[in-house]
C-alpha cells in the first residue's frame, strides 16, 4: 500500500502506512484513514472524517467533514458523502454478548454499504447496512436509509422513501410527455417498473 507522491495529507491526519491513497487525493485535518483502505485519484476526505479498514473509494469521491465511513463500505466513482453522514456496519449492534462479556471483533460480522457511481448522500443521513445505493441517486439530508435505493432515486425521510427522481446533474426531474426530463440538461429518462434509465440520444 502507498500514498501517492502527489497526494496531500494534513500533518494532523492519521493515515495508516497500509492505506493506498491515489494521485491528487487530499486528506484534511484530523481525518483518519485506516489500514488497507483504498482511495482512488482526486478523492477528498474532509476534516475529522473516518475511513474504516479496507474501505474502497473510487476516483473523484468527496467525503465531507466528520462523516463516518465504516468498513466494509464500497464507494464507486464520483460519490458524494455529506457532512456527518454515517455508513453503518453492524446489523444487530451490542456492546456485550448474551452472557455479559464484552464483545470482541470475533463476536460479530461486519456488513457494508455499497454506493454506486455518482450517488450523493446528504448531510447527517444514515445508511443502515447492509444496503445498496444506486448510481446517481440522491439521499436527502437527515434521511435514514434502511432498504436498497434504485438508480436516480430521490430519497427522503425516516425511514427513507422515494419522493421523486433526479438526473446526473442532481436536479429533480419533471414529468413531461411520458418521460422524466432534467430541467438543467434536458436529458430524458424513461421509467419502467419502478426503475429509471437514461434515454439514448441519436444524432
Q: Is the pLDDT of residue 161 over 90?
A: yes
pLDDT tens, position by position, 56-87: 999 999 999 999 999 999 999 999 999 999 99
pLDDT of residue 3: 72
Percentage of the residues of the chain whose pLDDT score is greater than 90: 88
Which residues face 33 on adjacent strands? 15, 51
Q: For residue 124, is it within any domain?
A: yes
Q: Are 23 and 41 in contact (CB under 8 A)?
A: yes
- Asked if the structure places residue 96 within a domain, the reply is yes
Which domain range does residue 33 map to?
8-166
Tens digit of each residue's pLDDT (9 = 90 or more) over 85-108: 999 999 889 999 999 999 998 888
* Residue 196 to residue 166: CA distance in whole angstroms: 10
Show Cβ contacts of residue 156 under 8 Å, excluding neighbours closer than 6 positions. 139, 140, 143, 163
Residue 129 lies in a domain: yes
| Residue 46's CATH number | 2.160.10.10
Question: Please, which pLDDT band fits residue 45 given cuts at 50, 70 and 90?
Answer: very high
Q: Is residue 181 part of a domain?
A: no
Mean pLDDT of 9-24: 96
Q: What is the pLDDT of residue 55?
A: 98
15 backbone dihedrals φ, ψ, rounded to 5°? -115, 120
Closest C-alpha to 25, from 6, 48, 1, 10 = 6
Picking from 151, 154, 136, the residue whose alpha carbon sits closest to that of residue 196 is: 151
Return mean pLDDT, the chain: 95
- Domain count of the chain? 1
- Domain assignment present for residue 195? The answer is no
Report d(CA 164, CA 155) in Å as an integer.
7
pLDDT at 1: 59
Tell whether 150 is covered by a domain: yes
Amino acid at each position: 500500500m502507498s500514498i501517492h507522491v502527489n497526494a496531500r495529507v494534513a500533518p494532523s491526519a492519521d493515515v495508516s502506512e497500509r492505506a493506498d491513497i491515489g494521485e491528487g487525493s487530499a486528506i484534511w485535518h484530523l481525518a483518519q484513514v485506516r489500514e488497507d483502505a483504498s482511495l482512488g485519484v482526486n478523492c477528498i476526505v474532509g476534516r475529522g472524517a473516518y475511513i474504516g479498514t479496507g474501505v474502497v473509494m473510487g476516483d473523484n469521491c468527496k467525503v465531507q467533514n466528520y462523516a463516518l465511513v465504516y468498513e466494509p463500505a464500497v464507494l464507486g466513482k464520483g460519490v458524494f458523502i455529506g457532512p456527518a453522514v454515517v455508513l453503518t456496519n453492524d446489523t444487530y449492534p451490542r456492546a456485550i454478548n448474551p452472557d455479559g462479556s464484552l464483545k470482541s471483533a470475533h463476536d460479530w460480522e461486519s456488513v457494508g454499504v455499497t454506493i454506486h457511481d455518482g450517488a450523493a448522500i446528504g448531510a447527517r443521513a444514515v445508511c443502515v447496512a447492509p444496503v445498496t445505493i444506486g448510481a446517481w441517486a440522491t439521499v436527502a439530508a437527515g434521511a435514514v436509509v434502511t432498504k436498497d435505493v434504485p438508480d436516480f432515486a430521490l430519497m427522503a425521510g425516516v425511514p427513507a422513501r422515494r419522493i421523486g427522481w433526479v438526473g446526473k446533474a442532481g436536479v429533480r426531474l419533471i414529468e413531461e410527455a411520458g418521460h422524466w426530463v432534467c430541467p438543467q440538461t434536458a436529458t430524458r429518462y424513461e421509467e419502467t417498473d419502478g426503475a429509471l434509465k437514461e434515454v439514448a440520444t441519436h444524432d
